[in-house]
Copies of this chain bind each other. A is one copy, B any other.
Amino acid sequence: MTTRYKMTLAYDGHLFHGFQSQPNQRTVQGTIEAALKKMTKGQDVSIEGSGRTDSGVHALGQVIHFDYPGTRIPPERMIRALNSIMPLDIVFKKCEIVDESFHVRYSAKGKWYRYHVSLDRFVDPFKRFYTGHYPYPVNLEKMQQAATDLIGTHDFTSFAASGGQIKNKVRTMYYVNIQKDEQGNEIVFDFICSGFLYNMVRILVATLLEIGNGKRPVDDLPRVIAAKDREQVRETAQANGLFLYHVFYEDIPKKYRLDKD
C-alpha cells in the first residue's frame, strides 16, 4: 500500500546540477530521494517533478509527486519530517495527499516562469546567483510591444534548444508581462504557458532583450515564430535569473488569459 503525495517546494538552484538525478552530481531529485529513503529506512521512493529545471535554475513553486510506502503520514507531518532532514537550499512549502490519478506533469494545465535581469554595470553582490545580467540600454516599451506577439497558440520551434525530446512544439502562451523594478534597476519577465520547451524562457528573454536594445526590430517575433528555425535566434539568457514560479493544476485564472482578451 502506498500513498501519493503532491508537494510544493522552493529551492536555490545555484549549488545544484539541476533537478534531474545524475550520477555523482548533487541534484534536487537525488537529494529529495535520498531524504525519502532515510524516512522509509531504506526503501527507494522515486519522485516525479513537474519539470526538470537546469543547473543553476531556481524554483519558488516547483511541484513533485511520489508514492510513499507503508503507513500514511499526515501532510503536515510529512512536510516537517522532510524539511528537518533537507539541506537548507530546499524547503517544502505545501503537502497534499492526492488521488493516484494525479500526475505532476500530465495533470498540469500551465506553468509560470519568472526571469530577473540586472541592468547594472556591476551586479549587486547579493543577487549574483539570482539574476541574469544585461548592462546595456534597453527600451522597456519596445519589449512590451513585441511580447504581445507571443500570446496565443504557436509552434515555438524557433525558441527551443536542441536536446529536447518532444516533437510537438505547439504551445499556448497565456500571459507575458515585462516590468522594470526601478529600485533594483532590473527587469522582471513573467511567462505563463501551457508548457515550455527546452530553454524556451531563456531564449525568449535573450530575444526580447535584443529587441529592447534595438538589435532586432520590434515586429520581428511573428517572422521568427513563422520560420520554425532555431537559427533565427542565437542567444540564451543565463540560468541564474530563472525561477519556476508556479505550476497550475487549476484552470489558468482569467486575469492571466491574455489570449482570450
Which residues of A line the B interface, CB within 8 A?
10-12, 58, 80, 83, 88-92, 121-126, 128, 130
> Please, which residue of chain B has its CB at the minimum distance from the CB of A128?
B88
B residues less than 8 Å from A92 (CB atoms): 122
Query: Do B128 and A58 have beta carbons less than 8 Å apart?
Result: no
A90, chain B: closest CB distance, angstroms: 6
Closest beta carbon of chain B to A127's beta carbon, Å: 9
Q: Which residues of B contact A125 (CB under 8 A)?
A: 10-12, 88-91
> How far, in Å, is A114 (CB) from chain B's closest CB?
13
Partner of A91, one of B11, B88, B91, B123: B123
Of B12, B122, B123, B128, which is within 8 A of A126 by CB? B12
A90 to B122, CA, bound (A): 10
What is the CB-to-nearest-CB distance from A162 to chain B, in angstroms, rounded to a whole number? Answer: 30
Query: Cβ of A11: which chain B residues have Cβ within 8 Å of it?
Result: 125
Q: Contacts of A89 on B, CB cut-off 8 Å? A: 125, 128
Q: Is the CB of B122 within 8 A of A91?
A: yes
Complex Cα spacing A130 to B88, Å: 12
Contact A122 B83 (CB under 8 A): yes
Residue from the set A90, A91, A124, A126 with the largest chain B CB neighbour count within 10 Å: A126
B residues within 8 A CB of A88?
123, 125, 128
Chain B min CB distance to A140 (Å): 24
**A12 and B128 contacting across the interface, CB-CB below 8 Å:** yes
A202 to B7, CA, bound (A): 36
Rounded to whole Å, the gap between the CB of A245 and the closest CB of chain B is: 13
